[in-house]
Structure 1
Amino acid sequence: MPEGPEIRRAADCVHRQLAGRRLDDAWFAFPELAGQAASLVGRRVTAVDSWGKALLIRFDDGRVLYSHNQLYGVWKLHAADREPDTNRSLRVRLVTQGRAASLYSASDVSLWDEGRIGDHPFLSRLGPDLLTHGVTVGQARARLLEPRFRRRGLGGLLLDQSLFAGIGNYLRAEILFFAGLHFKVRAGDLEEGALTRLAACILAVTRQAYEQAGVTNRADWAAADRTLGATRRRWRFAVFEREGLPCHACGTAIERVRVASRRLYLCPCCQPAG
């Protein structure tokens, strides 16, 4: 499933397609939304952003269209007079100045007033989005030390969307590796330097994944792997999905374990348990 950086990149694409323009047409497959489609015609799209794995389209009248792709949903951008080549089921279509953004296969779509979007049943459970809400290293440090988070092992905690929205399985493994921390370590037990390093890695790894289309590896390590003929799936990560391969930093074989019912990859030397 896509993680926060992938959803934010999708939001950026929809933003470029629609933002700053007024809708010429709107269509919804859902009966509860179909009656509101006409009221969106003529409204200007002010921004498209994301919160965790949800995509938010904002209009100039203060309304926000919420959508969550879940497992199979996908936005397709196309000319308004040309249907995308797909067998998926159309759920939403927004048209402006000959351009269209169409959402296929998603089932979680709703329209909200801006002032109430935080009350959405899904969004209300999320922590701040690392790419949208301007989280600083200091704020990330403070959040990790909140009573509800500080005594939990990092391997499970980082997947908790109430901590930070958008961190999924590959980001968790890469963050812990670059922070040099074992998955059993608790934020409340970290010394000040290690805590700051963790907070900085949470932000930096997520930002890099967003800016480099899912690549979290160091540039020199990735280049070395490519020289050896590695596929993108292998060279894009430092540890994720590299079980049995040598750690880029120390040469120790990368291990795979299960933590919080998800696979986690780590270097036992660079991320010692004790």
Structure 2
Amino acid sequence: MPEGPEIRREADRLAKVLVDERLEDVSFGLPRLVQYESRLAGCTVSAIDTRGKALLTRFDNGLTLYSHNQLYGRWYVCQRDGYPDTGRSLRVALHTATHSALLYSASDIEVLDEDELAQQPFLRRAGPDLLSEDLSAKAVAERLRGSRFRRRALQALYLDQSFIAGVGNYLRSEILFHARVAPGASPQKLDDTAIARLGRSTMIIGRRAYRTAGITNPPSRVRALKAQGYKRADYRFAVFAREDRPCYRCGSLIRRTTASSRRLYWCPVCQAP
């Protein structure tokens, strides 16, 4: 499933062709949404933003298209009416005079007014966005210390979208490794130094993944691995998907476990309990 950085990059790509543009035609592949086609055709896209893994396309008539890609959803951007060659099911088509923005395979899609948007279930429970300009390492640390979250195991907490919206499975492993904390630890058992380190790591890894299209290794390591002939799949992560391979810090073999029904990777030395 795409995580917050991927959805934000997708929003950036859509914004380049949609924001401040008039929609000449709108169509939906879900019968329950067809009623909105005439209400959105002729509107101008005023903004595209994200909340975690949800993408919000806002129109100048006060309506917002809420979409969540879940596992299989994917947006395509192409020249007007230049549909991609895909066997996916088309769910949303937004056409300007020059471009088409097409959402395939997603099913969690709604058109909402401002009041409905405020009550949307995912958005109501979502915590601060990982990539929000308002989020800081200090704010993350304060949430970790708060009564709502401090007793939770980090390996579960970092998949809870009410904690930080936009963190998913690969980011969880990478953030905890970068912070040198054990996945099974809870914030209440960490000292102030570890909490502060975890706050910084959350911000560093999240923003790095956004800038680099999902690469969480530091740039110096990436350059060194590229020089040795490694492909993207081999230099992308520090621990995620690196089971039984040596830790870049200490040389110990990376381990894999399952937490919250999702795979998690960690170093038993760098992240010792």
Pairwise same-fold verdict (TM > 0.5): yes
Indicate yes or no: 2:182 matched with 1:150.
no
Runs of at least 5 residues in structure 2 that lack an aligned partner in the other structure: none
State the distance in 1 between where 2:262 and 2:33 align: 36
Distance 1:186 1:229 in 2: 39
2:141 aligned partner: 141
Runs of at least 4 residues off by over 4 Å: none
User: Any idea what the Cα deviations from partners look like across 1:191-233, whole Å, max 9, x if unmatched?
Assistant: 2221111011111101100110000001222223223332211
Percent identity between the aligned chains?
48
The CA RMSD over aligned residues, in Å, is 1.5
Task: Give the equivalent residue in structure 2 for 1:90.
Answer: 90
Confirm whether residue 196 of structure 1 aligns to residue 189 of structure 2: no
Q: Does the Cα contact within 8 Å between 2:2 and 2:69 map onto a contact in 1?
A: no
SS at match of 1:58: strand
With the length of structure 1 as denominator, give the TM-score of the two structures. 0.95
Tell me what 1:8 maps to: 8
> Which position in structure 2 is the counterpart of 1:101?
101
- Where does residue 241 of structure 1 map in the other structure? 241
**Across the two proteins, how many residue pairs are aligned to each other?**
273
Following the alignment from structure 2 to structure 1, what is the Cα–Cα distance between the partners of residues 159 and 71? Answer: 17
Equivalent pair of 2:252/2:269 in contact (CA under 8 Å): yes
Contact 1:49-1:132 at 8 Å conserved across structures: no
SS at match of 1:181: coil
* CA distance in 2: counterparts of 1:138 and 1:218, whole angstroms: 22
CA distance in 2, matches of 1:128, 1:118: 15
- For residue 182 of structure 1, report the CA deviation from its aligned partner: 0.5
Matched position secondary structure for 1:215:
coil
**Separation in structure 2 between the aligned mates of residue 241 and residue 174 of structure 1, nearest angstrom:** 10
* TM-superposed deviation, 1:170: 0.8
Measured against aligned partners, the alpha-carbon deviations of 1:96-128 in whole angstroms (never above 9, x if no partner) come to 122110111111111111343131122222111
Q: What is the CA distance between 1:64 and its match in structure 2?
A: 0.8
1:253 maps to 2:253: yes
SS at match of 1:148: coil
Aligned counterparts of 1:124 and 1:234: Cα–Cα separation in 2: 38
Name the CA distance, whole Å, in 2 between partners of 1:64 and 1:265.
38
Equivalent runs, 1:31-180 vs 2, <5 Å: 31-132=31-132, 134-180=134-180
| Distance (whole Å) between structure 1 residues aligned to residue 81 and residue 255 of structure 2 | 51
Q: Per the alignment, in what secondary structure is the counterpart of residue 248 of structure 2?
A: coil
What letter corresponds to residue 2 of structure 1 in structure 2? P
Scaled by the length of structure 2, the TM-score of the pair is: 0.95
